[in-house]
Amino acid sequence: MLKYMRKYWIFAVLAAAFMIAEVTVDMIQPRLMADIVDNGILGLNGDGTPDLALIRSVGIKMILIVLAGGLFGMLSGTMANLCSQNFGNTIRKKCFDRIMHLSFEQTDAFTTGSLITRVTNDVSQVERLVQQLVRGFIRCLMFMVVGTITLMSLNVHFLVIIACAFPLVLLDIGFILWKTNPLFTLLQGRIDGLNSVIQENINGTRVVKAFIQEDREAARFDAANTSLVDTQLRVLILMSFLRPIMNIVLNLATVALIWVGAIQVQAGGMQPGEVMAAVTYISQILNGMMMLAMIFQTLARGRASAKRIRQVLDADPVIKDGTLDEESLRALYADSESDGSADSADGLATGTAAIAADYQPTGSVTFKKVSFTYPASGANPGAPIEVLSGVDLEVRPGETLAVIGPTGCGKTSLVNLIPRFYDATEGTVEVDGVDVRDFKLQTLRSKVAFVTQKNELFSTTIIDNIAIGRPGATEDEIHKAAQTAQAEDFILQQPDGYDTAVAEGGMSLSGGQRQRISIARALLKNAEILIFDDSTSALDLKTEAALYQALKKNYPGMTKIVIAQRIATARKADRIAVVDSGRIDAVGTHQELMETSAVYRDICASQERKSPQKGGAA
Amino acid sequence: MSYVKKRFAAAGGASGSAANTAAPQGFGRRRNMGAPTEKPKDGGKTLRRLLSYFASHRTAVILLFFVVTATVLLRIAAPAYLSRAIDAITMRTFDKLPQILLIMITLYVTSSACNLLEEYLGAKLSQKIVKGMRADLFRKTIDLPVGYLDTHSHGDLISRMTNDAENISNVVSSSLTSLFSGLLTLVGTVAIMLSYSWQLTLLSCSVIIFSVLFTRFLSRYIRKLYVKRQCLLGALNGIVNEKVTNYKTVTAYNQQDSVVDDFNGTSNELTRTGILSEILSSSMGPVMNMLNNVSFVVVAVSLLSSSTPSSSPARSTNWRSCTGRSRRRWRVPSASSRSWTPPPRTRAARCTWTPPRASSNSST
């Protein structure tokens, strides 16, 4: 993490330098003040009458020096801020960039609430740490070192007092830090917990209200809140011992100093004025120690946060980029078109040519002996269960394939493998005749338009939500996509039409409306392969039928993979794949499956029982 | 011209450079829904509400007040004995010393005990208040009509319950005790100053009033920056919340880079605001220090110009307390200090800074 500091170290050095200058002024200034008092006001060096001329000249000097000190102080603060906040900004950006490129299993493991805390709260803690280190550390070190040296130069006997006090203070700091250190990691974890409860409740407010779960949720929140406050209190109470104990030690050192000083004066080895000076220095050392205690407090918390940030920064995306990008594929394809052999592709590594030997950008998808197990994670503890096993399936270019099967049979997991949201545990998935792992992720994902099960809309306008599909699309293209998705009618009825703002998560729209906007977005992408993950479930049969008809007419070349719950949806497809407990049970048309697949017949029977009137009408 | 491009051009400004590139990104602009400036409509009401949290922990507040009073009194008393001890050494009355030192030890130990109690109570109080505040906020949030949540960034709401509540917690635990002790010290100092010279008090007070006015002027500006900063932090939270929640779509549409760009823009803005507000607020300390020291010289000069030379030494013995400096400073020895010979005893006693009570004793 320190490498991100490299760009800003100059600010840190300047901040420290200005801090040294400020402390120096702080140390000179009491001398001038003493000069004013002793020689000016009291006239101790002269005849005992005030010396106005001296007060004026020294006074002007003092004002100038104080102004310089103030300036140094401000400059030191400015530099420290430039250093710490720019450093914080760099980590924050790196952190978010990393989060955005993590694989799903990793984001799942971190949980959204924790990621939010890490990007904001933890980064602030680290910023504070850098700031304190750059300014405070130098300051208290100077006070302590200079104070100790001058103190000892006054009389070596004081060394004994310091030698006794120092270890006690260090012991105090050490003990408290040893006790609090583990608590800080726990504390940030508690913030995560609270964040998660709040986040779930706010994002899922409709569900909470619909099931009148407010009291239960308030109790859950209360538990998270209490455990956070308890942990914080434990830290604060431990910390509250730090200062008083230190105070006692250092104040007793003052008493001891006076005692030793008195003995020395009595013996004639010291002047009373030197005892007074010694008391000044020990209070300076005391100040330095206090600051040190504060810095250690920040250090402990900052370290816990830094560790959490490092966990994000060090997370290596599980899904690795391949090598084939659009350019190399295009060259390869053009070549193989012209002379019928991919091997002769000039200018391309032979490895690339070999990998992409069968490349045909037509939108075919092939599963070859694919097995898949969800990786164990925080969100998915316990023994891993195989979700897909030995799946063989071929989706032909341009065809519409429906995927049907009971809940939890692995339908979504199956399509998740196509754009590499996850990687198959065994076997290969091929798109356009090439293993998906050989594509660059961006290239692969540009070939696939995916409408997720949970319709994910962003808090911007409807048109911007659709435009995400293909940034740079024309208004006509957007309208065509919306019309095909059967979305234009209701969009135009919204208060601002296409410019109507969508609430976060699309909550201001109905389920069916959200689905249609998501579909419009996917259509706008105009990719080779279109995947609907149960994306028309909230539409009535009439709208759904119109949608598929328009789809066929307006986007004929696309390969369409449609996960469906309803037989009525599935039977419109060219072929239907029946998935049952992670295996492909059968593939065929509705008629074929009615004869060959018992699972399919079961699904049909259960749906007809549930809605006899619809079944009868069809 | 592409649709999005056109909209970018219309939006202008902020993402100007992005509009010139070939493919503007879908996430470029985040619609600012809800009120952009989060200024409390009624400052008095906000303060009353804040105070009501303290009121519900009345006993703890009162207890804390007593403990702080005790600590402040002890803190004032200890230096008095310290200067007595120094006086004893200067005047070579060493037999008095053990007794004075014993009293000092007692004072230090009790003041540390009070200090411990003070920090303990302060921590407890602050955490109780923050807990209550957060719980009320959460209850309010889940009881809000759905429409409110639809038009407000969820991440921002989360930020309020964690980041902003934590700020209040920090302020309560660190400032409540210092506010108490500061007020007590101020009242005490002003009373002591008045007992010496009302003219000097007036002069010192004018410095104080000037610094209060200056602080007010600066803090009004700083407050605005802080509000903006917390808002930006909320916006940042909002981006993380929304994009991580909808991560699948972000990934499916290759939007990671544009989302990161959006985040970086807000993050940079946050840093700019943060640096500005921190520079201003960290300048307050040095500026105050400067004012303080300048006032010292001004008071010293005016003291002499206003008083006749014959009466000045007696009065000026306590002039340091007239500058209202809370920090005690003894003479720092100059290079010649080693050869410094003790002046006549009475002078030496005056030379040390002594709190008023002690000074009347030592001058007898």
pLDDT digit string, tens, across residues A520-532? 999 999 899 999 9
Look at residue B51 in the predicted model and tell me its pLDDT: 80
Look at residue B119 in the predicted model and tell me its pLDDT: 86
Q: Check whether residue A286 and residue A341 sit in a common domain.
A: no
- Taking each helix axis from N to C end, the angle separating A272-314 and A242-267, rounded to the nearest 10 degrees, works out to 150
C-alpha triplet A355, A361, A367: angle, nearest 5°: 65
Question: Looking up tokens 């500061």, which residue turns up?
Answer: B182
Optimal mutation site among B112, B305, B310, interface A, most CBs of chain A within 10 A: B112
CA neighbor of A475 nearest in space, from B3, B315, B5: B3
Looking at per-residue pLDDT, the higher value among A394 and A142 belongs to A394
Q: How confident is the model at residue A376 (pLDDT cuts 50, 70, 90)?
A: low
Look at residue A611 in the predicted model and tell me its pLDDT: 57
Backbone angles phi, psi at B23, to 5 degrees: -120, 95
DSSP state letters, A257-298: HHHHHHHHHHHTSS-HHHHHHHHHHHHHHHHHHHHHHHHHHH
CA neighbor of B278 nearest in space, from A292, A116, A127: A127
Question: Looking up tokens 């002027």, which residue turns up?
Answer: B217
The class level of CATH for B48-196 reads mainly alpha
In a domain, A312, yes or no: yes
Q: Answer yes or no: do B3 and A120 touch at CB < 8 A.
A: no
Helix (H/G/I), strand (E/B), else coil: A471: coil
| Cα–Cα distance for residue pair A609/B278, rounded to 1 Å | 68
- The chain B residue lying nearest A228, using CA atoms, is B131
- Provide the chain B residues 265-324 that lie in CB contact (below 8 A) with chain A: 267-268, 270-271, 274-275, 278-279, 282-283, 285-287, 289-290, 293-294, 296-297, 300-301, 303-305, 309, 312-313, 316, 319-320
The b-or-e profile of B226-237 (16+ CB within 10 A means b, else e) is: bbbbbbbbbbbb
Mean pLDDT of chain A, nearest integer:
84
Q: Check whether residue A351 and residue A368 sit in a common domain.
A: no
Q: Check whether residue A438 and residue A409 sit in a common domain.
A: yes
CA neighbor of B312 nearest in space, from B200, B148, B169: B200
Contact between A544 and A536 under an 8 Å Cβ cutoff? The reply is yes
Q: Answer yes or no: do B112 and A247 touch at CB < 8 A.
A: yes
Contact between A424 and A572 under an 8 Å Cβ cutoff? The reply is no
Residues of A whose CB is below 8 A from B249: 450, 452, 456, 468, 518
pLDDT digits (tens, 9 = 90+) for A406-420: 888 888 899 999 999
Q: How many CB atoms lie under 10 A from the CB of residue B256? A: 20
- ipTM of this predicted structure: 0.77
Contact between A101 and B247 under an 8 Å Cβ cutoff? The reply is no
Distance from CA of A584 to the nearest CA of B (A): 25
What are the C-alpha distances in Å from B72 to residues A254, A549, B110, B170, B326? Answer: 19, 83, 12, 22, 12
Look at residue B26 in the predicted model and tell me its pLDDT: 36
CA neighbor of B90 nearest in space, from B355, B340, B263: B340
Whether A219 has its CB under 8 Å from any CB of chain B: the answer is no
Question: Looking up tokens 């649709």, which residue turns up?
Answer: B3
Kindly report which listed range (A153-157, A247-251, A339-343, A613-617) carries the lowest average pLDDT score: A613-617
Residues of B whose CB is below 8 A from A80: 282
Look at residue B4 in the predicted model and tell me its pLDDT: 37
Structural domains in chain A (count): 4
| Cα–Cα distance for residue pair B220/A425, rounded to 1 Å | 60
Q: Check whether residue A346 and residue A388 sit in a common domain.
A: no
| Cα–Cα distance for residue pair A601/B138, rounded to 1 Å | 50
Q: Check whether residue A240 and residue A348 sit in a common domain.
A: no
Look at residue B339 in the predicted model and tell me its pLDDT: 27
The b-or-e profile of A31-52 (16+ CB within 10 A means b, else e) is: bbbbbbbbbbbbbbeeeeebbe
Average confidence (pLDDT) over A480-497: 91
Q: Check whether residue A235 and residue A296 sit in a common domain.
A: yes
Look at residue A43 in the predicted model and tell me its pLDDT: 64
Q: How confident is the model at residue A14 (pLDDT cuts 50, 70, 90)?
A: very high
Average confidence (pLDDT) over A54-59: 79
Q: Check whether residue A146 and residue A203 sit in a common domain.
A: yes
- Provide the chain B residues 101-140 that lie in CB contact (below 8 A) with chain A: 101, 104-105, 108-109, 111-113, 115-116, 119-120, 122-124, 126-128, 130-131, 134-135, 138-139
Q: How confident is the model at residue A163 (pLDDT cuts 50, 70, 90)?
A: confident
Q: How confident is the model at residue A150 (pLDDT cuts 50, 70, 90)?
A: confident
- Taking each helix axis from N to C end, the angle separating A52-100 and B256-306, rounded to the nearest 10 degrees, works out to 170
pLDDT of A338 over the 70 cut: no
Residue A103: DSSP 8-state:
-
Regions of chain B where pLDDT drops below 70:
1-43, 172-177, 185, 189, 192-193, 196, 289, 292-293, 296-297, 299-364
The residues pairing with A404 across neighbouring beta strands, listed in sequence order, are A578
When CB atoms are compared, the residue of A96, A279, A450 closest to B330 is A279
Distance from CA of A396 to the nearest CA of B (A): 22
Distance from CA of B223 to the nearest CA of A (A): 18
Cα of B346 vs its chain's centroid, Å: 41
Q: Answer yes or no: do A504 and B237 touch at CB < 8 A.
A: no
Residues of B whose CB is below 8 A from A265: 89, 92
CATH number assigned to the domain comprising residue A305: 1.20.1560.10
Q: Check whether residue A532 and residue A453 sit in a common domain.
A: yes
Optimal mutation site among B251, B259, B281, B288, interface A, most CBs of chain A within 10 A: B251
Looking at per-residue pLDDT, the higher value among B22 and A508 belongs to A508
Average confidence (pLDDT) over A379-399: 81
pLDDT digits (tens, 9 = 90+) for A530-555: 999 988 888 888 899 899 999 888 88
Contact between A388 and A412 under an 8 Å Cβ cutoff? The reply is no
Look at residue B17 in the predicted model and tell me its pLDDT: 34
Optimal mutation site among B97, B290, B347, interface A, most CBs of chain A within 10 A: B290
HEC per residue, chain B: CCHHHHHHHHHCHHHHHHHHCCCCCCCCCCCCCCCCCCCCCCHHHHHHHHHHHHHCCHHHHHHHHHHHHHHHHHHHHHHHHHHHHHHHHHCCCHHHHHHHHHHHHHHHHHHHHHHHHHHHHHHHHHHHHHHHHHHHHHHHHHHCCHHHHHHCCHHHHHHHHHHHHHHHHHHHHHHHHHHHHHHHHHHHHHHHHHHHCHHHHHHHHHHHHHHHHHHHHHHHHHHHHHHHHHHHHHHHHHHHHHHHHCHHHHHHCCCHHHHHHHHHHHHHHHHHHHHHHHHHHHHHHHHHHHHHHHHHHHHHHHHHHHCCCCCHHHHHCCHHHHCCCCCCCCCCCCHHHHHCCCCCHHHHHHHCCCCHHHHHHHCC
Q: How many CB atoms lie under 10 A from the CB of residue B308? A: 8
In a domain, A425, yes or no: yes
Q: Answer yes or no: do A456 and B245 touch at CB < 8 A.
A: yes
pLDDT of A348 over the 60 cut: no
Q: Answer yes or no: do A445 and B113 touch at CB < 8 A.
A: no
Looking at per-residue pLDDT, the higher value among A355 and A493 belongs to A493
The domain in which residue A351 lies consists of 328-359
Residue A321: DSSP 8-state:
-
Four-point Cα dihedral B191, B193, B196, B198, nearest 10: -90
CA neighbor of A422 nearest in space, from A319, A320, A323, A322: A319
Q: Check whether residue A400 and residue A536 sit in a common domain.
A: yes
- The chain B residue lying nearest A98, using CA atoms, is B260
Token pair of B56 as six digits: 């519900």
In a domain, A305, yes or no: yes
pLDDT of A465 over the 60 cut: yes
Look at residue A392 in the predicted model and tell me its pLDDT: 92
Q: Burial-class residue B59 by CB neighbours within 10 Å (0-12, 13-18, 19+).
A: exposed
Kindly report which listed range (A142-156, A157-171, A520-534) carries the lowest average pLDDT score: A142-156
Helix (H/G/I), strand (E/B), else coil: A448: strand
pLDDT digits (tens, 9 = 90+) for A210-259: 777 888 888 889 999 999 999 989 988 988 888 888 888 888 888 998 88
| Cα–Cα distance for residue pair B59/B66, rounded to 1 Å | 11
Domain range summary for chain B, segments of one domain joined by +: 48-196, 199-291
CA neighbor of A88 nearest in space, from B275, B228, B283: B275
Q: Which amino acid is at A378?
A: G
| Cα–Cα distance for residue pair B215/B292, rounded to 1 Å | 13
Q: Answer yes or no: do A70 and B290 touch at CB < 8 A.
A: yes
| Cα–Cα distance for residue pair A519/A524, rounded to 1 Å | 9
| Cα–Cα distance for residue pair A28/A13, rounded to 1 Å | 23
Q: Which amino acid is at B265?
A: G
| Cα–Cα distance for residue pair B6/B12, rounded to 1 Å | 10
Q: How confident is the model at residue A462 (pLDDT cuts 50, 70, 90)?
A: very high
pLDDT of A161 over the 90 cut: no
Q: Burial-class residue A6 by CB neighbours within 10 Å (0-12, 13-18, 19+).
A: exposed
H/E stretch holding A122 reads none
The CA radius of gyration of chain B, in Å to the nearest whole number, is 29
pLDDT of A562 over the 90 cut: yes
Look at residue A502 in the predicted model and tell me its pLDDT: 87
Helix (H/G/I), strand (E/B), else coil: A214: helix
H/E stretch holding A375 reads none
When CB atoms are compared, the residue of A66, A99, A202 closest to B244 is A99
Q: Check whether residue A310 and residue A333 sit in a common domain.
A: no
| Cα–Cα distance for residue pair B240/A120, rounded to 1 Å | 9
pLDDT of A556 over the 80 cut: yes
Nearby residues of A521 by Cβ (< 8 Å), 6 or more positions away: A451, A465, A466, A468, A469, A481, B253
- The chain B residue lying nearest A43, using CA atoms, is B313
Q: Which amino acid is at A303?
A: R
Give the max Cα distance, chain A.
Answer: 124
Residue A461: DSSP 8-state:
B
